[in-house]
Amino acid sequence: MHLDLQVNSTQSASEILHAATVVMSDLHLRSAVDPTSQLFVAVLARLRRYELHTLALLGDVFDFCLGNHPYFQKKFAFCAEALRGCATQVLLLEGNHEFHLAASTWLPATTCTAFDYCLALPDGSSVQLTHGDLLLPERGYRLLRTVLKAQMMGRIAVRLPGAWLDSISAKVADLSRRRSSTHSCNAQRVQEYAAAWIDRCSARTGIFGHFHLPLVCRSPQGKLLLGLDAWTTPSFLIYKAGKYYRAYPTPERTTIKELQT
Ligand SMILES: [Mn+2]
């Protein structure tokens, strides 16, 4: 076992991580030098040796990113570099802090801008993934989201200079953050809507981010529902051979705990 991995389980780090599926969300990376970015890059370097089957990023990887703009391609080149080859498959769902990621060919990932995505797992089961901001039925928010993510907005924004974008992005990110923190107050409501979502899907497990809610619960139909915290408290999920684990990385080590599901 590597010294930088501590496992609270009867299994070794390599038994858990080799060819595993890893799910992360809400990293809110701001620049190459912010501590979260440095931790993210370090964690991907740690995971690289285990030949992950899939790394799924559930959105808000970036605090603000216009995927079609060369400014952000340059700003987040460090992230693209860290992701390249870190898993057989890298999947990136677009969050509410990201725009036009489908046009970000510079990111070595399969991007998904749909509400959710059904990921096939190596053991033949599947897991339903969503960023989560559309789980709650809020018409005003949906309208704002549709306007901000419209193709026309992308065509306008791609013409703006980088310095402008930095100031606009701080405002948009702050607005999105305030909405998120308001929502996370009502964990019970989030859980109810998330449970209704997974019960409508064919997958037996659903994972969501956005609300910064490290939830483990069962839906009315008995399906497993897992929430992911944001990287203000860094953590990620691991799936391997029918079991889920939550990992807590620090600059020094990653502690892995098996989830009681
Ligand atoms: Mn979000």
User: Domains, the chain, ranges and CATH?
Assistant: 5-258 (3.60.21.10)
Question: Which residues sit opposite 117 in a β-bridge?
Answer: 129
Cα 11 to averaged position of ligand 1 atoms, centre (Å): 33
Query: Which pLDDT belongs to residue 181?
Result: 58
Residue 139, pLDDT score: 78
pLDDT at 224 (0 to 100): 98
Q: Per-residue pLDDT tens for 114-158?
A: 999 999 999 999 999 999 998 988 877 787 788 777 876 777 777
Q: How far is the CA of 238 from the centre of ligand 1 (A)?
A: 21
What order of strands is seen across the sheet that includes strand 52-57? 5-8, 254-258, 243-249, 236-240, 21-24, 52-57, 87-93, 110-112
Question: How many A from CA of 153 to the centre of ligand 1?
Answer: 19
Decide: helix, strand or coil at residue 41: helix
- If DSSP codes are grouped into helix, strand and coil, which group holds residue 47? helix
Residue segments in the chain with a per-residue pLDDT below the cut of 50: 1, 3
How many angstroms separate the CA atoms of 120 and 117, rounded? Answer: 10
pLDDT at 183: 52
Contact of 98 with 67, CB cutoff 8 Å: yes
Amino acid code (one letter) for 90: V
**Residues whose beta carbons lie less than 5 angstroms from ion ligand 1:** 60, 95-96, 133, 210
CA 231 to ligand 1 centroid distance, Å: 12
- Return the pLDDT at 1: 42
Contact 103, 113 (CB under 8 A): no
- Name the pairing type of β-strands 254-258 and 65-66: unpaired
Alpha carbon of 106 to ligand 1 centroid (Å): 22
Q: How far is residue 85's CA from residue 23's CA, in Å, rounded to a whole number?
A: 16
Distance 124 CA to ligand 1 centre (A): 29
- Separation of 12 CA from ligand 1 center, angstroms? 33
Please report the DSSP string for 138-191 in residue order.
-HHHHHHHHHHH-HHHHHHHTTS-HHHHHHHHHHHHHHHHHHHHHHHT-HHHHH
